Amino acid sequence: MSPAVRIWHRLRIILEMIKFEHTVFALPFALIGMLLAADGWPSGRVVGWILVAMVGARSSAMAFNRLVDREIDRRNPRTAGRALPAGLLTPTQVWLFVAATTALFLLAAAQLNRLALALAPVALAIIWGYSFTKRFTTLSHLILGFALGIAPSAAWIAVRGSLALPPLLLTAAVMGWVGGFDIIYSLQDEAFDRRHRLRSLPAHLGAARALLLSRLLHLGTIGILLWLPQWITLGGWYTLGVGVTAALLAYEHALVKPDDLSRVNAAFFTVNGFISIGLLCFTALDLAARGRF
């Protein structure tokens, strides 16, 4: 096998390890923040560097998380087959990937504006710091939500070079949305987390009460999304998108019961992928209907 083929093979394993396709969760909300900041479509240069920054940051954070959690993953039957505990990759290889994607993120921030670059280390501290939180706080789900939720605010900064209330509301909405669905996902590890003293909410509260809290977080998300048009011009298409989001969240919760986790993956990935992409599409339609494109 040639060196180029070996590198490509390792890269494919890394991309599978970090679940590259899950970029679909945060990226659409970053694009919503970008569209609202520009009141339409910004320059192609800005769009391109925002995409580079998002891919770099998210890839760096996920690879870092796999490194930090590799011993936990090795002990958990559900995750023991991941690349690091299974020996498909070495820590050195993954550290090199973290370094490369972090450099890519910093380069993109530098190409956008001074505030984006100044805040880039803060963003890295947030998205890397999440990886340690389940060891000492039950708020880890919300911290993950905040780590993904800074995406629309970061995109707003990338366009305007400043921050305002609308992107902060989007950050809060994403924080509740991600926190809620991460609780659902963590139901799979309730017994493992309790046995190894990891501070997930299902391990702390039990499945039924954790699911109730997840529903409340998602209700809060819908409330914030409905409040957003009070602070920035958005119309009927956006409101319809929020209604569709609410219906999809209701469906997500219908899929999962405390004593039946057989459809967790459908609830976690499929439904939430539709939510993020769908709200982006409805927001874009709203702007298009007002002649912003």
> What is the predicted pLDDT for the residue at 161?
96
Task: With beta carbons less than 8 A apart as the criterion, state whether 218 and 176 touch.
Answer: yes
SS3 142: helix
Identify which has the larger pLDDT, 1 or 258: 258
SS3 174: helix
Q: Average pLDDT of 108-134?
A: 97
Q: How far is CA 238 from CA 224, 245, 283, 285, in A?
A: 13, 10, 5, 8
CB neighbour burial string for 205-230, b if at least 16 within 10 angstroms, e if fewer: bebeebbebbbebbebbbebbeebee
Spatial neighbors of 2 by CB under 8 A, at least 6 apart, are none
Work out the number of other CB atoms within 10 angstroms of the CB of residue 95: 13
Identify which has the larger pLDDT, 21 or 98: 98
Tens of pLDDT, residues 127-184: 999 999 999 999 999 999 999 999 999 999 999 999 999 999 999 999 999 999 999 9
> What is the predicted pLDDT for the residue at 2?
74
The string of DSSP letters for 220-245 reads HHHHHHHHGGGTS---HHHHHHHHHH
Tens of pLDDT, residues 195-252: 999 999 999 999 999 999 999 999 999 999 999 999 999 999 999 999 999 999 999 9
Q: What are the boundaries of each domain within the chain?
A: 23-289
Instruction: Provide the pLDDT confidence category of residue 293 given band limits of 50, 70 and 90.
Output: confident
SS3 163: coil
Tens of pLDDT, residues 51-84: 999 999 999 999 999 999 999 999 999 999 999 9
> What is the predicted pLDDT for the residue at 163?
96
Instruction: Please check whether the domain covering 23-289 is classified as CATH 3.30.420.40.
Output: no
> What is the predicted pLDDT for the residue at 168?
98
> What is the predicted pLDDT for the residue at 108?
98
Tens of pLDDT, residues 260-284: 888 887 777 788 989 999 999 999 9
Q: Average pLDDT of 108-132?
A: 97
Q: How far is CA 236 from CA 17, 171, 174, 243, 245, in A?
A: 40, 22, 21, 10, 14
SS3 89: coil
> What is the predicted pLDDT for the residue at 1?
66
Its pTM stands at 0.94
In the structure encoding, which two tokens stand for residue 275, read together?
């939510």
